[in-house]
Structure 1
Amino acid sequence: MSLLSTIPFSLLELAPIRQGQSAGDTLRHSLAYAQAAERLGYNRFWLAEHHNMEGIASSATAVLIGYIAGNTQKIRVGSGGIMLPNHPPLVVAEQFGTLESLYPGRIDLGLGRAPGSDPITSRALNRDPMRAEHFPEEVAELQKLLGPADPNKRVKAVPGEGTEVPIWLLGSSLFSAQLAAQRGLPYAFAGHFAPRFVYDAIRLYRSQFQPSKVLDKPYVMLGLPLVAAETDDEAAYIGTSSLQRILALMRGQPLWLKPPVDNMEPLWSEGEKASVNAFLGLSVQGGPESIKERLESIVQELEVDELMFTNDVYDEQKRIEALSILMSVKA
């Protein structure tokens, strides 16, 4: 039996806009992608929150969750994540309470403390730059708003109260790992863009975990960048779309998903190449055998409970085919 056979596979969607494509086309493809994931047995389909990023269509996260959940039947749909400093906890509780009321038992609320944008955009969101410092208090407030009914509450989330939407803490450093451990909450590490602290964060979370009413033992989900194809050579080729997008991110350029190229060398400097490769340090790329070997190594080394993949492939059909290739390694 494969080491991966009991590990749930899930997906994180940033809704990358292909060069020359509209946001509407992108979001319709995101739905087809989610529906394919559901057919193949993926566990969760989460949507990110990013603002003022040309080439990324996942800004109105709760709206997109409703769109995906309303057009699927059983896959869990959630946020990866809601950047809590951008939103009043009451509004988040009402939005996710509404989603849970419409799609009971299928909604996840992943929370992050980063802005999901640059400082200028943060100001446009009316974001207090100090709110991130109050993240632990606001998480606690959300837990109360979504928790059991209390006649003494002065402020109630309606819908929301009593729904107890599962809350996850997301992070790329040690802060959220420690907070998730203290609160007894499930933890998701953003290895798809920040692999540097993955070992320390997971170790800290597991060692400091305190059981809670929602979780009796630690639960770790790890985000990984995926490029899956029939062969290693094909994966290396189609993976250049993701390399170009990360390069654009580092240069402060629009993040349109571009067609793959035969050779990246003319497009970047040696320093940029090293930075992009470090950004994608936990990338899982190749044909089925290479992917299986890489994932088994990661699962064994990090003792994760679930894997969540980004899958930035330019060709829409190959992007969906990658889901079947990935699922085949569980056998």
Structure 2
Amino acid sequence: MHIKKFKDIPLSVLDLAPVNEGSNAGESFRRSVELAQHVEKWGFNRYWLAEHHNMPGIGSSATSVLIGHIAGATERIRVGSGGVMLPNHAPLVIAEQFGTLEAIYPGRIDLGLGRAPGSDQATAYALRRTLQSSGDDFPQQVSELENYFSDKPVGRVLSYPGTGLHVPIWLLGSSGFSAQLSAIKGLPFSFASHFAPDFTMQALQLYHQNFKPSAALKEPYAMVGVNVIAADTQERAEWLATSSQQQMFNLMRGMPTTFTPPIDNLEEAWTDREIAIFKEKLDTESMIVGTPDVVREKLSAFINKTRANEVIINSQVFHQEDRLRSYEIVAEMME
């Protein structure tokens, strides 16, 4: 069996544009630009931003606007959505937005599509979605988007810009639905292992077993998400990881907040159950926390287990210098 090495596959970045406690969205976007410029220099392949709503700690709600901002501040790295939650939008609007982005930054834009709303019911209503929508029409919405980008679109309504631009469409998923749909449609697939690790292998198997070649893709291409928090010492890496864990617990409690700084004493802030969950998460394959040696070993194992064609890395770190250092450590492994 061929063992994949870091240099054999592209590595990419997933950015949720965290809004830090005591900061604001403007500062978050400045940090994202700085990160994008660094990871481009370090050889990362893509820089994706994710759509979320009604979450004070995540600044990437207007995803296409932020993609344009990042693309304008960089030169070569591909920039895209990881993803746009298509049920929140009319496909024509997304076609026009991403057609515009592709026209400004040709050959650099990706359109990753998710099926979940990325929000609660009240927010879904505010986004003008019908609350009866279950995402069952997602395949039809994807087909509509593909038509808008084709050379010879069918229908009276066309996307300008958009027509003939062939913006690459990816399907994103955390279960088997999008894995099978992307396989049947012959599209690249990105699995959210960074928050649904238990379904990773099943979804990837479904994708590979059902893949049908298409004009977009001749062979299956799977990108897998993973959380990486790397630091020069194990203690600092685990301390930095408490920020992202606090974010998760606050969401579980139904009380989302801005992105909080790391904490020293878990016992003072968390219940015994939450501490146990945190320690269990540190041992999962898709939550890699540690020194360069630890990260190299665990990320290599993750790559070879999943047989991923590409890995997209989420590093939710409060302090910008630590966030940059985390991605720099991974970049050093690519060399």
TM-score range, shorter chain: over 0.9
Q: Tell me, which stretches of 5 or more residues in structure 2 are unaligned?
A: none
Output the amino acid matched with 2:206: L
Distance 1:272 1:36 in 2: 34
Output the amino acid matched with 2:266: M
Give 1:188 shift. Answer: 0.3
Partner secondary structure for residue 48 of structure 2: strand
Aligned equivalent of 1:120:
122
CA deviations on 1:214-266 (whole Å, 9 max, x unpaired) are 11111110111110111222211111111111111111123322221223233
1:226 equivalent to 2:218? Answer no
Which of 284, 287, 291 lines up with 2:291 in the alignment? 287
Give 1:153 shift. Answer: 3.1
Contact 1:38 1:74 in 2 (8 A): yes
Aligned equivalent of 1:35:
37
Distance 1:171 1:144 in 2: 22
CA deviations on 1:143-180 (whole Å, 9 max, x unpaired) are 01011134x53111000000000000000000000000
Partner secondary structure for residue 254 of structure 1: coil
Output the amino acid matched with 2:149: L
Distance 2:91 2:148 in 1: 8
Aligned equivalent of 1:257:
259
CA deviations on 1:94-132 (whole Å, 9 max, x unpaired) are 000000000000000000010010111001111123261
Output the amino acid matched with 2:135: A
Residue 277 to residue 206, structure 1, CA distance change in 2 (3 Å) = farther
Aligned equivalent of 2:74:
72
Partner secondary structure for residue 239 of structure 1: helix
Distance 1:279 1:209 in 2: 32
Distance 2:276 2:218 in 1: 41
Contact 2:171 2:187 in 1 (8 A): yes
Contact 1:94 1:160 in 2 (8 A): yes
Aligned equivalent of 2:178:
176
1:328 equivalent to 2:335? Answer no
Aligned equivalent of 1:190:
192
Give 1:275 shift. Answer: 4.5
RMSD of the alignment, in Å?
1.5
Give 1:274 shift. Answer: 4.4
Distance 2:300 2:127 in 1: 41
Worse-superposed segment, 189-198 or 286-295:
189-198
Distance 1:184 1:11 in 2: 24
1:303 equivalent to 2:307? Answer yes
Contact 1:85 1:115 in 2 (8 A): yes
Aligned equivalent of 1:271:
273
Percent identity among equivalent residues? 48
Residue 122 to residue 79, structure 1, CA distance change in 2 (3 Å) = same
TM-score (norm 1): 0.96
Q: Tell me, which stretches of 5 or more residues in structure 1 are unaligned?
A: none
Equivalences, count: 330
Which of 158, 161, 164 lines up with 2:163 in the alignment? 161
CA deviations on 1:183-215 (whole Å, 9 max, x unpaired) are 000000011112121110001101111111111
